[in-house]
Structure formats: structure tokens, C-alpha cells
Structure 1
Amino acid sequence: MTHAIETRLTELGHTLPEAPAPAANYVPFVRCGDTLYVSGQISQRPDGLITGKLGESMSAEEGAEAAQYCALSLLAQAKAALGGDLSRLKRVVKLVGFVNSTPDFIDQPKVVNGASDLFGEVMGTAGAHARSAVSAASLPMGVAVEIEAIFEIE
């Protein structure tokens, strides 16, 4: 049976990807009691990485779309961590977003809103969260955005 989160994603025209494999020496998630920590997920579409630097080769709107893809990967990792059962996902506690941007780019919050908005649209009040949105001089493989998450789970 499809869970409400996946149903809502479909209604919004999104497809949940397979959980991406780690790109280095780390695990994609750690469960600790009723908390799930998901490692940073980089911006990637099904056809490849979303690369670029905000304030140079990308607009804030393009960055927000990249952040939305990070959120989809975060949900995919949560699904994998919960044995395929997203009904055990109670709420988003915190997001930390890293934006590959020029020194004078100041719209990191608008970029990370792409992920925050998706969680709100998909999970309602359970998608509301604490958050940081920071600039990075560069990110792995030249991606535009990387976001990590902390979830409350059952």
C-alpha cells in the first residue's frame, strides 16, 4: 500500500528516486532511538548531477529546484532506513543546506526553500522544521546544493 507521503508526491508530479549510494566513506543514515540522521544528499536529477555555482551560473530559482531534488533523495534515504515504510516518518526536525555560491550571493535561504517547501507540501505541519542555509565555496563534484536532515521516526 502506498503511504500518504508517496501519494502526495505523485499528486505533485514528483517521483521518489532510489536511495542514492554513498559517494565516499560514510553511511547514508544512522538511526538512534526515535531519531533518523540522513547524510547530506547532493542535487541530482534522474539523468545526472545538478552542478553550478549560485550567483555565477545559476539563479536562486534554479538552485531551489536543485534543493527540491535533494529533498526527494532525503525522503528516499528515509524510506530505505525505515524498511520501505514511510508511515514511520513522523516529522522533519531539521535541515542543514549547503549552497555552492559566490561570495556576494546572499539568497541561500531562497535556494534551500526548494527543499523546505517540498516537505511542507508533502507532509503539512509535520514538514515544518528548524533549518540552516549556508554558503559553500564549493561542493562535492561541483553540485549546486547539498542538504542533510534529521527526522523523528516511530
Structure 2
Amino acid sequence: MSTDIETRLAALGITLPVAAAPAANYVPFVRSGNLVHVSGQISQDANGLVTGKLGDTLDTEAGAAAAKLCAISLLAQVKAACDGDLGKLKRVVKLTGFVNSTGDFADQPKVINGASDFFVEALGDAGRHARSAVSAASLPFNVAVEIEGLFEVE
């Protein structure tokens, strides 16, 4: 079943990956009533993990691209939580973004904009959300970005 969201994604040239299985003893998402809490999704694409440290080996533009990859994975998890029907997604409520960065790097919000901009582009006003963007001294597998999300669904 094609939805408006899937039509927008196709127009953007985005194909959602299969929702990733958890890497440890947790679940990829928890649905409670009309809310879906999605566990942190790391920066990876079909070629593998996007690794590095912002302010050292990666610049802000590369970090924003990594954050967009996290957002795409978040959306794949929401689709799985909705039994494959993205039409049930009402809105993005909140994102919490973690940026693998040096102590003097201060552009975490610009990095997480990669995810925020993607959600607004793909979902319109339903993609606007509350957000936190914080630095992390390190992230699992040395990934550049990890983002968790809270979504309202039908």
C-alpha cells in the first residue's frame, strides 16, 4: 500500500532500508498507546557504518549527512512498528541526537539538522519536532551520529 509519505520519499530518491535488528539486549522500538519510542539508530548506509569524530576527522556537512541516515533508519523502524503502513504515522514528536565530537566542537545542532531537515522535507509540518542535540565523547562502533526518536501514530 503506497502512502503520501512513501510517494514523497520516492520523489526524494529515498528507499527505506529493512528495519535493523537490535545489536544487544533491547528492542528496536516500543509502542505505547499512540506513541512509538524508537531506540537509537546509528549512522550507516548500504556501504556500512559512517564513522568518525566531528571536529577531528569529519566536518559539519559530513555529520549532517550521517544524521540524515539516522533519520531514514528511524523512519524504517516506525514503518515496522506500524506493520508496514507509514500512513499510520501522524508526526515526529521528539528527536534526541548524539554527536561523536571533540570537546571543542560546538555545532551539534547543525549536525542534527541533517535529520530534522529530512523529516520536514519528507513529512511536511508533521516532521517538525522538539529536539535535543548533544555531544558524546564516543559512540558505539565509533559512529558519527546516533539519534533516538518519539513518534505519534494511529
TM-score normalised by L of structure 1: 0.99
Q: Distance in 1 between matches of 2:24 and 2:133?
A: 23
Residue aligning to 1:119: 119
The answer to whether residue 109 in structure 2 is matched with residue 109 in structure 1 is yes
The answer to whether residue 81 in structure 2 is matched with residue 76 in structure 1 is no
TM-score normalised by L of structure 2: 0.99
1:75-134, CA deviations, whole angstroms, 9 ceiling, x for partnerless residues? Answer: 000000110000000000000000000000000000000000000001000000000000
Q: Distance in 2 between matches of 1:127 and 1:69?
A: 16
Query: Sequence identity of aligned pairs in percent?
Result: 69
Shift of 1:13: 1.5
Q: Structure 2 stretches of 5 or more lacking a match? A: none
Shift of 1:7: 1.3
The answer to whether residue 80 in structure 2 is matched with residue 59 in structure 1 is no
Moved runs in structure 1, 4+ residues, more than 2 A? none
What are the within-5 Å matches in structure 2 for residues 2-13 of structure 1? 2-13=2-13
What are the within-5 Å matches in structure 2 for residues 19-58 of structure 1? 19-58=19-58
Over the aligned positions, Cα root-mean-square deviation in angstroms equals 0.6
Shift of 1:31: 0.4
- Kept after mapping to 2: 8 A contact 1:9/1:15: yes
Shift of 1:14: 1.4
Letter in 2 for 1:74: L
